[in-house]
Structure 1
Amino acid sequence: MRRLSVFAAAAVALSFAIAPASAQHRIQIGCTATSDCASAMVAIDEGIFRRHGVEAEMVRIGINSNIPAALLSNSIQIGGPTASVFLQAADGGLPIVAVAGASVMSPETSANPAIFVRNGLTLTKPADFVGKKVGAPGLGAYLHVLFVKWLMDNGVDPGRVNFVEVSFPTMTDVMRSQAVDAVVSSEPVVSRMVAAGVGSVGARYVSELNRTDPVIFYAASRAWATQNPQAVAAFRAAITEAARIVNTDDDKANRAIAKFTGQQLALVQSVRRSRSEPALKASDLLWWIEVMKQQRLLQGTPNVEQLVLP
């Protein structure tokens, strides 16, 4: 009987020990095929979410601007919108809130975006793009907003540039056909176009802006975040741990990125990945709001204190 009691006590102790792992918060995390959500990818691959009581799944979203709607429909519980997409959605009245940081601009990764120019043209200065037809992967999205900022900072009226939407997968063909004069793009697409011989880099315009503001951050519907404070806390703890790996361990970070994005590992290794920064303050959104108001992309002035979950 004494032996049975010992085994019973051990079983009870074991059940308490594994309770946190079995009482999982289930979270689907939606991001585009980019390294900006690498902290969530690593947190899954390295079992970090599980250690923090989160059963997480990454969901690939085709277009970043679809993320706010996916959050509100509960197709995903957490998503990685760009700062510009998030602010336009919030300004439009969608009840979403930022819960943690994902990626930030940095001197290393700001060299990834570029204005890529077709063969036969030399366009390197902001004034060179006046009257030209420029393709962008989403008007009002991250790369387009920063390109317009570059133009305006150098005295060029963006209204004198003819912008059209051109998706990343079609950029090489569009440049080869010379349907546009240039495209706003980023790595690894830029390197692919260089290799295809369809043009050359005109300017690394984001580097010239020299900013360290957020690129993408993790957001949720306000209702879900309010109703699931423990899940939010566990998510934050996990990506904080994972962010250190993203920023210091190339092998683990690149493997996780390649797995989620579906890109070949060699290609992922060739591109400077975004710096992961899990901390996010309300004040981190102020520069973006200023830029977007300057471009008349916001109807009002969002209250940043209400947009970032404490």
Structure 2
Amino acid sequence: MKKSLAFALAGGLTALAMSPALAQKIRIGCTSSADCGTAMVAADNGIFEKMGLDVEMTRIALNSNIPPALLSNSLEIGGPTSSVFLQAADGGLDLVAVAGASYMHEASNEGTVAVIRDGVTIEKAADFAGKKVGVPGFGAYIHILFVRYLMENGVDPASVNLVETSFPSMPDVIRTGAVDAVLSGGPIVARILESKTGHLGPKFVSELGGDAPIIFYAATRDWATANPEAVQKFRAAIAEAAALIEADREVAIASVAKFTEQKPELVRATPPSKYKPEITADGLGWWLDLMKKQNLLQGSVDAANLLAP
């Protein structure tokens, strides 16, 4: 009996020694949009697993919740918008960018719009004055660009009642009349239009233009410094996923629909997100200049110091 147990234990230890190293656990948090499409595709198509990473994708209601989640160790990697990330860094949170994700381009700029509740008329920037408008997180990409749009058209942003509204709740707040408009993009817009409770308003991002990063993948500096191999594997996985999406958009449609819990046909009907695996100081610099003009940064932020090695 004892001999059999000894052989069993020895066999188990031998098998353990011969098995591959346990994959490193990484929790990735993103909002319910297509901006983290590369991570979604890497998770769904075994790319992370192949790299030795055990990834869990988590939906975050508001983009502004991502930096606190990183600091509290609820996430290892998150997908903040450039503006949310820079405000967090300006506020003293020691975060670094580890890889690029979505970026502004003609189609995405065209698809990020104001959706107006039926019965309300908003055709130009001045029409937003006195209206209640849902934004997907204060300080997030869409919020910052909308404020810029108002300012460039001579509208005082304080004259617009802006309220935080998560992407998934936007169809409901439009339907119930809780807001006059929401600022959104992707399948959320298609879903509202399909329900016939709202209609397209100003394409404010298209009017502004730009090709800067929308969101990218970030981590705490402590985590990135302690896990350089995981960072490199993550970057390799994101690059492979970006190439896969470039070759076959249907792969991205399937993963985005799954993560956002939207119908694939709604995702397919929206302008596709574009992805760059790299993140540069110049890309962050575009946002720094924009945010300084809106007095959104208090200190001096060095973009180059915010990139993980």
TM-score range, shorter chain: 0.7 to 0.9
In structure 2, the gaps of 5 or more residues are: 1-13
Q: What does 1:74-89 align with in structure 2 at a 5 Å threshold? A: 74-89=73-88
Q: Helix, strand or coil for the counterpart of 1:68?
A: helix
Matched, 1:248 2:241: no
The residue number in structure 2 matching 1:306 is 305
- Measured in 2, the distance between the counterparts of 1:79 and 1:139 equals 17
Could you tell me how far apart the structure 2 residues matched to 1:260 and 1:104 are?
19
CA 1:203–1:45: 2 relative to 1, 3 Å: same
Question: Is the Cα–Cα contact under 8 Å of residues 29 and 78 in structure 1 kept in the other structure?
Answer: yes
Partner of 2:182: 183
Give 1:276 deviation, angstroms.
1.1
The corresponding residue for 2:132 is 133
How far off its partner does 1:20 sit? 9.9
Tell me which moved more, 163-172 or 53-62: 163-172
Q: Distance in 1 between matches of 2:130 and 2:26?
A: 47
Q: Letter of the aligned partner of 1:234 in structure 2? A: K
Seen in structure 2, the aligned counterparts of structure 1 residues 133 and 91 have a Cα distance that, compared at 3 Å, is: same
After superposition, residues 184-263 of structure 1 pair within 5 angstroms as 184-263=183-262
Paired with 2:19 and 2:51, the residues of 1 have a C-alpha distance of 8
Residue 269 (structure 2) aligns with: 270
Q: C-alpha deviations, 1:74-98, integer Å up to 9, x for none?
A: 2221111111111111111111111
CA RMSD of aligned residues (A): 2.3
1:266–1:196 Cα change, 3 Å: closer
Question: 8 Å contact 1:101–1:216 — kept in the other structure?
Answer: yes
Distance 1:102 1:19 in 2: 36
**TM-score of the two chains, using structure 1 as the length reference:** 0.86
Counterpart position of 1:70: 69
Deviation larger for 261-270 or 141-150: 261-270
- Structure 1: gaps of 5 or more residues: 1-14
Counterparts in 2 of 1:48 and 1:137: CA distance versus 1, 3 Å: closer
Equivalent position SS for 1:238: helix
Look up the match of 1:3.
none
| Secondary structure of the corresponding residue to residue 183 of structure 2 | strand
1:260 Cα offset (Å): 2.4
The reply to whether residue 32 of structure 1 matches residue 27 of structure 2 is: no
Amino acid at match of 1:286: G
Alignment correspondent of 1:150 = 149
Partners of 1:25 and 1:139 in 2: CA distance: 33
Deviation at 1:111, TM superposition (A): 2.0
Contact 2:64 2:84 in 1 (8 A): yes
Does the CA contact (< 8 Å) of 1:289 and 1:301 recur in 2? no
TM (norm. structure 2) is 0.87
Q: Distance in 2 between matches of 1:155 and 1:19?
A: 68
Aligned residues: 294
Distance of 1:56 and 1:86 partners within structure 2: 22
- Give a deviation string over 1:127-148, Cα, whole Å, max 9, x none: 2223333232322222111111
CA deviations over 1:151-197 (Å, ceiling 9, x no partner): 12223221232323334344344434544333222232223332333
Tell me the distance in 1 between the aligned counterparts of 2:48 and 2:165: 36
Of residues 38-47 and 76-85 in structure 1, the stretch that sits farther from structure 2 once superposed is: 38-47
* Alpha carbons of structure 1 residues 168 and 77: separation in structure 2 relative to 1, 3 Å: closer
The aligned residue for residue 105 of structure 1 is: 104
Q: Distance in 2 between matches of 1:119 and 1:35?
A: 26
SS of residue in 2 equivalent to 1:297: coil
The alpha-carbon distance between structure 1 residues 84 and 177, as it changes in their structure 2 partners (threshold 3 A), is same
| 2:286 matched residue in structure 1 | 287
